Structure 1
Amino acid sequence: MEALPARARVYLVCVTLLGLLCLLPLPGLPRPGVLSYLPDPRFPWWPVVLLAALYAGCERLARSRLVAGPHPGGTFHPVLLAGAFLLPPTAAALVALPGALLLPVEHRPRLARRLWRTGRLVVAVWAASLVHLKTGGRDAVAHCDMPGALATAGAAVLAFCLVLTLLDGGVLAPAPGGLPRGRAAAAPAAWSRLFLGSLAPLTVHGLAGLMMALLWRSPYGPVAALLVMLPMGVSWWAFAQYHRERAAHQATIRALVQAVDIKDGYTRGHSERVGRASMLIARELGMDDDRVETLRFAGILHDVGKLGVPTRLLTKNGPLTPEERRVIELHPEYGHEMVRGISFLGEARAAVLHHHERIDGTGYPYGLTGGQIPESARVVAVADAFDAMTSTRSYSRARPVPVALEELQRCAGTHFDPRMVRALVRAIGRAGWHPAVTADEPRPAAVPGPAAPATGRPGARR
C-alpha cells in the first residue's frame, strides 16, 4: 500500500468498502429498497459454497501451467454470472469472494492488488444479480422461458460489464488539475475502449453462465450444470494456447530486432518506428487487423538481414565505396533467408526481401517495377524512407517531419507508390509523428536542418 499514490489508496479503499457494503448488511436491521433482496437466514447456502468452490478451482486451473496464457490474471466469468442468475445479490457476490481473495497475486503491491480484485468482482456480481432479479430473470430461469431468460441475462451481463468498466476506468481517470488537458480529454475514450473491448467476451461468458443456470434449475440438477464447464474449459485452453503462441511470435521478433540493434547501434529504435509507420499506412488503407499486424511485423523485421553485413560497414562514417555498397545491398536477401521459414509472418517475408525496390525499377535486389513489387514491400518502403529522413544517423541529420513528407511526395511515382505516400501523409496529418533520435546521443528530439547527401548509403533516400 505504501507504494501506491495517495489518490490510488483512497480509490482502493472506496472500492473495498463498496464491496463490503454489498456483502455485509447486519442481520436484524431494516432492509429498505434494494437491500430487501438480500437473503434471509433461512436461505440454503450450499449453492453458494458449491459455486464459490467451483469458481476458485477454475481460477486456480486457469493460472496453472496446463492452460495459463500470457495473461494469467483473467477471470473465469461463467461461474460468477451463473451465480448472478441463480442467487440473490449478496449470495451471488459471496461466490466471488473466496477465489478473488485467496488466490495468489504475482506482482507487488500484493495486498492492494488482492483487495482491488476482490472489491471490483464483488460489486460487479452484486450489480449483475440485482439487475437480473429486478428484470424478472429469476422467474424466467426457473420456468425455462428462453426469450425472457436471454433478455434478462443480457441486461445482467451489460450491468456486469458496465460496473467493471467504470471501476477499471476510474484508475485511468486523471486527477483534477494534475494532468494536461489532452490526457484528461482521453479519459472518456479510454472508458469506451474498455467497455467495447470487454463486452463481446463477457457476452460469451454470460451465455455459458445462463446455460449453467438453466441446467441447474432443470430436473437434472447441479450435476448437469457442471457439464457446461467441460466445453468452456476446452475453449479456455484453446484460447490460452493461441495467446501463448502469439507471445512466442512476439518473442521471436523481439529477439531478432534486439540482435540487429546490438549490431548496428545507429539504427536503435528504427525498426520499431518503421513498424509503427507501416501500421499507420495499413490502417489508412482500410486493411483488416490481421493484415495490419502482419505489416507491423514487416516493418519491424525489414532490416534483420543486417545481421549478415559486417559491422564496420554499418557503422562507417561517410560514403561507401561501390564494393561496400554491393555488400550492404545484399541485406534484403540475407533477411529473407532468415525469416522465410517463419510461417506466421506471411506476406511480411516478401516485404523483407523487396522493401528497397523502387516503382521505376531502380531499386534492389531485383529491380522490380510498379505492381511487380508486393504491396507489403511498398508500404514498408515508404515507412522506412520516412523514418530514415526524420532520424539522425552517422551520415545524415534528421529532417523535420513536413520536409520528409514533402520529399516522399516529390519521389512518389518514381521511388515510392503514390497511394502509400498519400496514406502516410493523411495518417500523420491526423495523428502526428514524434520520432526519437536513433543515434546514441543525449538529444530529446530529432534535430532539424538540412540533410547531408545520401550518396553511397543504401536505405537513405535522396
Structure 2
Amino acid sequence: MFVCGVVALAAGIVVTAPFTGLDWATLAVLVVLFLVCDSAPAQLTVERARVSLGFAASLASVVMLGPAGAALLGLSAVVTGQRMFAPVKRMFNAAQFALGGFAAGVVFDLLGGSRFPPGGPAWVEHVIGPFVAAAITFVLVNLALTTGILVLARQATLRAMLRESGRLVFGCLGYSMFGLLIAGLWPGIRAFAAVLVLLPLFIARWALEQAHDQQRAHAATLAALCQAVETKDYYTRGHSERVSRGSVMIAQQIGMRPARVEAIRYAGMLHDVGKLGVPTTVLQKDGPMTEHELAAIQLHPMRGLEIVREIGFLDEALAGIMHHHEKMNGRGYPMGLAGDEIPEFARVISVADAFDAMTSNRSYRAARSIEEAVAELRRSSGDHFDPVIVDAFLLALEREGWDPPGPVAPPEDAAQTTAQDHDDPTAPIRVTRDGAAR
C-alpha cells in the first residue's frame, strides 16, 4: 500500500503539472546524464548505503526546469541502468525521485531562486540559499520515503534509520551540489556542461569507494586479531563480537556521536587482544594462580595497548582497551583508577564485557541467565561498574534484547580449557601465596 500510494502521488503530480515553456532539449540531456549517473551509485561509508549520482542531475533540473521538469526527470529512474532492481523497486525509485524533485523545485521557487536565470550577474550569490534549501528538501524527502519502506518491510527500525540519517544526509548533499555546478555552466557551454561534470562526479565516487574499502579492511584486520585471541580458548569464541555489540548498545543509548560509536565498536572487539601476550598455560590454568601468574593476567590490557597502539584509526579506543578492567572503587587493574578517572570507553566496555562473560558457558560452569546477570550488574553498580553505564545498558537490553551464545562443543584436540575467567565478576581469580589458596 505504501509503494502504491507513493507511485500514485508521483503520477498525479506529473499528470497535472503544467509543462508550458519547458525546454525539452535540456530535459533530454539531463535525463541522459541522470541515467548514466544512476547506473553507478556511490557506496557511502555507512554500511549498505549507496547514493545515486543522479542527485546532481535532479538538482540541476530543479534550477533549470522548475518543479514540473524535475518531477518528469525523476520518473526516468524507472529505466535505470541498475538491472538488479525489480520492476516494483524501479517504480518506487522513480516516484521517489519525482516527488523529491517536485518538492525541491517548489522550495526553490518559493525562496525566489527562479527569479535569477543561470549566467546572470552575481547568480551564485542570489541562488545559493534557495538551492541549498531545495537540496535539503530533496534529500529529506528521499530519506523519509526510504525510511518508510524499510521500516514497514521490517528491514530496519525507525531508531536505526534516524541514527544513520545524519551521515547519509551529508553524503547526499555533497553530490547534490554538483547540480548547481551544472546549472551555472549551462549558459556558456550548454550540453557539454553535463559531460564536464561527469569527471569530478566519478572521481568523488571513486574516493568514497576507497574510503569504504578502507573501512572494510579495518574491520578485517580487527576480525583477524580477535580470531587470534580466541584460538587460545574455544570457550571465548565470539566473545569479542558480543562485547563490541554490547558496547555499541550502551554508546548509542547514552548519545555518543557516530564517530565515537564506531571507535567503541573497535575497542570492544579488541579489548582482550593483550591476551596474545599472556602464556596460554596461564590463561588455561586449572586451579589457583601464583601471584606471578596473576600479574601476567593483569598486565594483558597494557600488552593490548602495546600491540595496537600504532593502528592509527583506533584513537580513543586505545583508552578503552587499556583500562577496561578498572573498577569504580579503585581496586581494578592495571592502574587502579577510580570513578571518573576511568575513561568513558573503559567504563562502557567493562559492563558489556562482564555481562557477556556471565551469560556465556564456561568449562567450569553453565551460562547464567540474563536475569541473573542483570541482578549482578545492579548489585555491583557503583562499586565495580559506573551506575550511569549500567542503567544505559539495561535500557538498551530491554529494547534490543540479547542473544547469549549456545553450548560450546570442545574440539577433539583440546588438551585444556580455562577454568577461571577474569571477566566474570561473580568468579574472582583464585591466587596462591606460599602454596595457600585465597
TM tier relative to shorter chain: 0.7 to 0.9
- Which residue is 2:356 aligned to? 387
Deviation of residue 70 (structure 1)? 6.7
> Which amino acid in the other structure matches residue 52 of structure 2?
T
* CA deviation after TM superposition for structure 1 residue 294, in Å: 1.8
Determine whether 1:46 maps to 2:6: no
State yes or no: 1:246 paired with 2:215.
yes
Distance 1:455 1:410 in 2: 28
State the match for 2:430 in structure 1.
none
Say if 2:96 is the partner of 1:120.
Answer: yes
Partner of 1:447: none
Change (3 A) 1:256 1:227: same
Deviates more, 1:324-333 or 1:427-436: 324-333
User: Which among 193, 200, 206 is matched to residue 237 of structure 1?
Assistant: 206
Question: Alpha carbons of 1:164 and 1:123: their partners in 2 closer, same or farther (altered >3 Å)?
Answer: same
Query: Which residues of 2 match residues 196-207 of structure 1 at below 5 A?
Result: 198-207=168-177
CA contact (8 A) 1:277 1:424 kept: no
Alignment partner of 1:110 is 2:74: no
2:37 is matched with 58
Deviation by residue 1:390-427 (Cα, 9 ceiling, x = unmatched): 44433344262442223322634xxx6xxxx1221331
Q: Which amino acid aligns with 2:389?
A: L
CA change 1:101–1:68 in 2 (3 A) is farther
Measured against aligned partners, the alpha-carbon deviations of 1:359-399 in whole angstroms (never above 9, x if no partner) come to 777655x5555588766445433432243234443334426
Q: Is 2:325 the counterpart of 1:356?
A: yes
Shift in Å at residue 100 of structure 1? Answer: 5.5
Does the 8 Å CA contact 1:208/1:232 hold for their aligned counterparts? yes
Contact 1:394/1:439, CA 8 A, preserved across alignment:
no
Whole-Å separation in 2 of the counterparts to 1:282 and 1:13: 38
Q: Cα offset for 1:138?
A: 2.7
Once residues 326 and 193 of structure 1 are traced to their aligned partners in structure 2, the CA distance between those partners, rounded to angstroms, is: 42
Maintained 8 Å contact 2:351/2:390: no
Alignment of 1:60-459 (within 5 A): 60=39, 62=41, 73-76=50-53, 77-98=55-76, 101-106=79-84, 110-133=86-109, 136-142=112-118, 143=120, 145-146=123-124, 149-174=127-152, 198-217=168-187, 219=188, 221-223=190-192, 227=196, 230-260=199-229, 264-279=233-248, 288-306=257-275, 319=287, 321-322=289-290, 331-332=300-301, 335-336=304-305, 338-357=307-326, 366=334, 368-370=336-338, 376-396=345-365, 397-398=367-368, 400-409=372-381, 411-412=383-384, 421-433=386-398, 434-440=401-407, 456-459=420-423
Deviation at 1:195, TM superposition (A): 6.4
**3-state secondary structure, aligned to 1:458:** coil
Q: Secondary structure at the match of 1:38?
A: coil
Residues 392 and 438, structure 1, Cα contact 8 Å, conserved in 2 = yes
Contact 2:103 2:137 in 1 (8 A): yes
Q: How has the CA–CA distance of structure 1 residues 441 and 11 changed in structure 2, closer, same or farther, with 3 Å as cutoff?
A: farther
Report if aligned partners of 2:230, 2:237 keep a CA contact under 8 Å in 1: yes
> 1:254 offset after TM fit, Å?
3.0
The code of the aligned residue for 1:345 comes to L
Offset of 1:128 from its aligned partner? 2.7
Aligned length: 408
Q: Are the structure 2 counterparts of residues 228 and 174 from structure 1 closer, same or farther at C-alpha, using a change threshold of 3 Å?
A: closer
Shift of 1:301: 1.3
What displacement does 1:312 show?
A: 8.4
How far apart, CA to CA, are the structure 2 residues paired with 1:14 and 1:372? Answer: 55
- Aligned-pair CA distance for 1:129: 3.1
Matched residues, percent identical?
A: 34
List alignment gaps of at least 5 residues for structure 1.
1-9, 26-33, 443-453
- CA drift of 1:22 comes to 5.0
Choose 243-252 or 136-145, whichever is displaced more.
136-145
Output the TM-score relative to the length of structure 2: 0.72
| Distance verdict in 2 for CA 1:297–1:213, change over 3 Å | same
Distance in structure 2 (CA, Å) of the matches to 1:407 and 1:264: 29
SS at match of 1:167: helix
SS at structure 2 position matched to 1:141:
coil
CA distance in 2, matches of 1:311, 1:381: 23
Aligned partners of 2:107 and 2:137 also within 8 Å: yes
Per the alignment, do residues 279 and 159 of structure 1 end up closer, same or farther by CA in structure 2, a change over 3 Å counting?
Answer: closer
Amino acid in structure 2 at the alignment position of 1:424: I
Change (3 A) 1:68 1:253: closer
| Cα distance, 1:350–1:190 mapped onto 2, change above 3 Å | closer
The amino acid that maps onto 1:75 is: S
User: Residue 402 and residue 315 in structure 1: after superposition, are their counterparts in 2 closer, same or farther (change >3 A)?
Assistant: same
- Aligned CA RMSD, in angstroms, stands at 4.4
* Paired residue secondary structure (1:81): helix
Amino acid at match of 1:460: D
* Structure 1 residues 281 and 45, CA gap change in structure 2 (3 angstroms): closer
Superposition deviation, residue 86 in structure 1:
0.7
1:213 is paired with a residue whose SS is helix
Are the equivalent residues in 1 in contact too, given 2:284–2:419 (CA < 8 A)? no
Could you say if the C-alpha distance between residues 437 and 97 of structure 1 is closer, same or farther in structure 2, counting changes exceeding 3 Å?
same
